[in-house]
Amino acid sequence: MPNTTKFPRSFTWGVATSAFQIEGAAAEDGKGPSIWDTFTHHPGNVIDASNGDIACDHYHRYVDDVGIMASLGVDAYRFSMAWSRVQPEGKGAWNEKGFDFYDRLLDELAQKELAAHLTLYHWDLPQGLQQDGGWLNRDTCLRFADYAQEVARRFGSRAATIATHNEPWCSANLGYGNAQFAPGIADAKAAIQVSHHLLLSHGLAMQAMRTVGAPAKLGIVLNQWTADPATDSEADRAMAQLEYARSVQWFMDPIFKGCYPALALKSHGENCPIIHPNDFTDIRQPLDFLGVNYYFRSFCSAETPPKKPEGKLGFTDMGWEIYPQGLTELLIALKQEYTLPPIYITENGMANPDKLVNGQIPDIERITYVRSHLNALANAMAQGVDIQGYFLWSLLDNFEWNSGYAKRFGIVHVDYETQQRTLKDSAIWYREFIRAQRLA
Ligand code: FCB
């Protein structure tokens, strides 16, 4: 595949991480526990029985890590704040030492001329709020809006963007639907109510942050996919349509249209969420940007056993099908259906069983993956979709949730024994790709 894809000069090139996956310092400087601290310390929840106590020790190594980003020549860094670091209980007192960490990180980024793209919630709810029912409790939405407003007040002039949530589909469906993620609840009805509360909390947080009048652009990050029928059969096509309605449209419609998609609502039957009269007015707030995370498509087969995708380009170490054209198709579909704000691709990347070979990590698979997805992105842009930037997931190998440290997503290798960072070949390739874009 040629290296010829061209992007506008103003395009933002970035890397992404999240707090729980890299920071460590789980109980340092007054940080309270989050639901992921609790979940990971419960045997059986994480494949390799690991946790986030130390992770990449980024809390202590952020200066070096920002230095690595600067050496790669990226423009921007997407990271999340750990709510329980700055407000240990999720309500009540703020923890100044927690805010100090993000203050230092923002200073370091500014010094290296890297734009900060901040996410408020990347799945790590303060455990104190879980005790009160977590996202099943409507009151958590108000707590979240308070937290969002405080962050906007303190940091809203130093962050380029602030996203409310990262992938609420995952928080709801993996956290409450099938117990794969914290808080580890398996209850279909609860998952749907939680998804509604997450959307409501997004809307309330947007309004609370707007009152501050900070220059940061405000939005949300959603994980999305196209849903393709495995065959042309009516059953497969119906399944694909329903899957798209329950995942992509379930989050997009309330934000952009002020309602849930009828098909999905009908299918949820008795599990439909309790919705208060003004909820959709609160949720439907204008966005300055939409973050889209894309990893794979959804392949829908109604047969038993279900048909699997062929995977012409292979599968990643997560078992996820490599399907770059899905990114083009998704973005075009979104543009056709919604009046969109500018989009950032806030995550895209792959897990690969990378090995150090004579001091190098030849992750050619990742280079091919990223390059093909950038081509797919350029195709969507050529067809008129307004994309402002791309954030590669991830800067570092890190704690991959219930897969622990077994799955490596970084363009920088981390030796967890020594915390040594080593650039993989993909990091060097990304650096050169970005440089070539600037020269072009
Ligand atoms: C996304 C998450 C991110 C990371 C990648 C691989 O769903 O937002 O934290 O785990 O998947």
401 lines ligand 1 (CB under 6 A): yes
Which of 181, 346, 369, 401 should be mutated for ligand 1, with most atoms under 8 A from CB? 401
409 lines ligand 1 (CB under 6 A): yes
- Find the 29 Cα to ligand 1 centroid distance in Å: 27
pTM higher than the cut 0.85: yes
pLDDT in the model for residue 4: 54
H/E/C letters for each residue in 190-215? HHHHHHHHHHHHHHHHHHHHHCCCCC
56 lines ligand 1 (CB under 6 A): no
Task: Please list the ranges in the chain whose pLDDT falls under 70.
Answer: 1-4
**184-234 pLDDT tens trace:** 999 999 999 999 999 999 999 999 999 999 999 999 999 999 999 999 999
Q: Is 347 a catalytic residue?
A: yes
pLDDT in the model for residue 3: 47
80 lines ligand 1 (CB under 6 A): no
Please list the residues that pair with 116 across neighbouring strands. Answer: 77
- Find the 400 Cα to ligand 1 centroid distance in Å: 7
**95-126 pLDDT tens trace:** 999 999 999 999 999 999 999 999 999 999 99
Q: Give me the domains of the chain, ranges plus CATH numbers.
A: 12-439 (3.20.20.80)
166 lines ligand 1 (CB under 6 A): yes
Ligand 1 atom nearest 166 alpha carbon? 8
Which of 20, 292, 320, 347 should be mutated for ligand 1, with most atoms under 8 A from CB? 347
- Find the 16 Cα to ligand 1 centroid distance in Å: 10
- Give the separation between CA 323 and CA 228, rounded to whole angstroms: 11
Ligand 1 atom nearest 170 alpha carbon? 7
Which of 165, 167, 352, 399 should be mutated for ligand 1, with most atoms under 8 A from CB? 167
pLDDT in the model for residue 2: 46
Q: Is 243 a catalytic residue?
A: no
**Which of 259, 261, 191, 195 shows the shortest CA–CA distance to 222?**
195
Give 211-264 as a DSSP string: TTT-SSEEEEEEE---EEESSSSHHHHHHHHHHHIIIIIHHHHHHHTSS--HHH
> Please, are residues 135 and 198 in contact by the beta-carbon 8 Å criterion?
yes
Q: How many residues does the chain have?
A: 440
124 lines ligand 1 (CB under 6 A): no
Among protein residues, the one whose CA lies closest to atom 9 of ligand 1: 18
170 lines ligand 1 (CB under 6 A): yes
- Find the 334 Cα to ligand 1 centroid distance in Å: 21
Interacting residues of 194 by C-beta distance below 8 A, sequence separation 6+: 134, 135, 136, 171, 172, 175, 176
167 lines ligand 1 (CB under 6 A): yes
Type of residue found at 318: M
For the chain, state the CA radius of gyration. 21
Residue of 167, 243, 329, 365 with catalytic role? 167
Residue of 243, 329, 347, 400 with catalytic role? 347
